[in-house]
Amino acid sequence: MNLMYRSTRDSNNKVTASQAVLQGLSSDGGLFVPETIPVLTKSFEELSKMDYRELAFEVMKLFLTDYTEEELKDCINKAYDDKFDTPEIAPLKQIGQAYYLELFHGATIAFKDMALSILPHLLTKAAKKNNVQEEIVILTATSGDTGKAALAGFADVEGTKIIVFYPKDGVSSVQEKQMVTQKGDNTNVIGIRGNFDDAQTGVKMMFNNTELAERLKKAGYLFSSANSINIGRLVPQIVYYVHSYASLYRKKQVTQGDKINFVVPTGNFGNILAAYYAKNIGVPINKLICASNENKVLFDFFETGRYDKNRDFILTESPSMDILVSSNLERLIYHIADNDSEKTEQLMKALSSNGVYEITDSMKAKLKGFIGGWASEENTREAIHQVYQENNYVIDTHTAVAASVYHGYVKETGDTTKTVIVSTASPYKFANSVLSALHTGEVPADDYEQAILLKKVSNTEIPNAVEEIRTAPVLHSKVCNICEMQINVEDILKII
């Protein structure tokens, strides 16, 4: 029996996994969620003996049931290969009292590679399966890391085009360079004069524009999404939570049933939602700790049950978490409302018209497994410094937000549960901020000089991604206003 997916805003809208991957966002504006949550069919004794690919298959087959075994394995083998600089794919390192799950060993040195290495394969297989004749146009808003990871994944993939919008002044220098030097005839990168939320709203509006969809169809195109609203991104992210537990089990750090905590540096709520699904399929998890930067809308939500995006958007040194509308929270809202799509739609409408919604007490009671925390810019820098001083281990600014929240959580609660801090980016991606937090003296202005200094300080190799952009020519220089996003898309696709 196939596991079907329903829209969070209309429960009559029901599709297979491959159709959900193809569509990205549901036509009613909702997100696709699995109708029921499957459970792991193997014990951790068995799972702990598997490598990353084998484990990925065990997890993904539970959710993507209309893909054949061969199709899934083919996608997995193409994704988790030597694009990653370690065969472990997602190493778990014990550093001091905590474990760090390093998700930055892929091509673009941020955790988005974990899902975006496989999404293009899942998508092209889904197109074949569903007899899609149109060329697929991947429309993506990025806070910095999704953009490059999606570009790298889709570059020169036959039957696809990709268009990425990023906030011109809201990403790190390495992030921007990585995107604007992207090769591939089917790639397009545009900076917008606005922030990530503007980019995401603009993209969602194009998805929901039926008039545009008709013109696209006539011209032989179909939109899809590489953002974490696509379940094709969410499902691969569940894998590394299972993998973490299996690693701890193998190293005899836990025995079957011992619970662990995860601390997740959060922006769009995709990564931590994958952890929530991991918990529901059977990974023994105590607390999911949601770490925000100064854009602490999620912290306030977990404290009060009220989501309020009416506040200043703050540009921080953890730019991939500079988000006020966390799209994937909609899926959690749907689940804690007992899969009530009418209730979810009502709350999401309130969010888009007033910028605020409030959940009921019974919904709030179902959030007990989550803890919200946040770190100021100052705290984030301190965490980088402290972890380095104590353990000689250098973390990036996003991971540091999580580390800071974790330190505060332990101080406050005395919780001694084994805890995994999810490390979402390589410090090389944010070398400028990291070096200045480490107080290693004057930080050189040049990106590559920074990398050389970081190599010395951290005793790690400079990742290939940093070497690559050193001499690569800029191939994309377009910048537009928020209101010009659609016209740019029409221009690229020549459908004006």
Residues that bind ligand PLP (CB under 6 A): 110-112, 145, 228, 265-271, 320-321, 398, 424-425
Q: Which is nearer to ligand PLP, 134 or 300 (CB)?
A: 300
Where do runs of H (alpha helix) occur along 80-155? Answer: 112-116, 119-129, 145-154
Q: How far is the CB of 256 from ligand PLP (least distance, A)?
A: 29
Q: How far is the CB of 491 from ligand PLP (least distance, A)?
A: 28
Q: Which is nearer to ligand PLP, 112 or 407 (CB)?
A: 112
Q: How far is the CB of 356 from ligand PLP (least distance, A)?
A: 21
Q: How many whole angstroms separate alpha carbon 157 and alpha carbon 135?
A: 11
In degrees and rounded to multiples of 5, residue 346 shows phi and psi of -60, -45
Q: How many whole angstroms separate alpha carbon 12 and alpha carbon 4?
A: 11
Q: How far is the CB of 269 from ligand PLP (least distance, A)?
A: 5
Q: Which is nearer to ligand PLP, 160 or 228 (CB)?
A: 228
Q: How many whole angstroms separate alpha carbon 140 and alpha carbon 163?
A: 6
Q: How far is the CB of 449 from ligand PLP (least distance, A)?
A: 23
Q: How many whole angstroms separate alpha carbon 153 and alpha carbon 113?
A: 8
**DSSP letters for 286-349:** EEEEEEE-S--HHHHHHHHSEEE--SPPPP-S-GGG--SS-TTHHHHHHHHTTS-HHHHHHHHH
Q: Which is nearer to ligand PLP, 48 or 433 (CB)?
A: 433
Q: How far is the CB of 272 from ligand PLP (least distance, A)?
A: 6
Q: Which is nearer to ligand PLP, 145 or 176 (CB)?
A: 145
Q: How far is the CB of 279 from ligand PLP (least distance, A)?
A: 16
**DSSP letters for 262-295:** EEEE-SSSHHHHHHHHHHHHT--EEEEEEEE-S-
Q: Write down the residue that tokens 């091509």 correspond to.
A: 107
Sorted by sequence, the CB contacts under 8 Å of residue 406 that are 6+ apart come out as: 98, 263, 289, 291, 373, 419, 421
Q: How far is the CB of 328 from ligand PLP (least distance, A)?
A: 7
**Helix or strand holding residue 465 (H, E):** helix 464-469
Q: How far is the CB of 426 from ligand PLP (least distance, A)?
A: 9
E strand residue ranges, 111-251: 135-141, 160-167, 187-193, 221-225
Q: How far is the CB of 73 from ligand PLP (least distance, A)?
A: 26
Q: Which is nearer to ligand PLP, 10 or 447 (CB)?
A: 447
Q: How many residues does the chain have?
A: 496
Q: Which is nearer to ligand PLP, 66 or 176 (CB)?
A: 176
* Alpha-carbon separation of residue 323 from 119, 122, 193, 280 (angstroms): 23, 27, 16, 26
How open is the CA angle 155-159-160, to the nearest 5 degrees? 45
Q: Which is nearer to ligand PLP, 216 or 395 (CB)?
A: 395
Max CA-CA distance within the chain?
61
Nearest to 318 by CA among 274, 389, 376, 386: 376
Q: Which is nearer to ligand PLP, 127 or 351 (CB)?
A: 351
Q: Which is nearer to ligand PLP, 191 or 254 (CB)?
A: 191
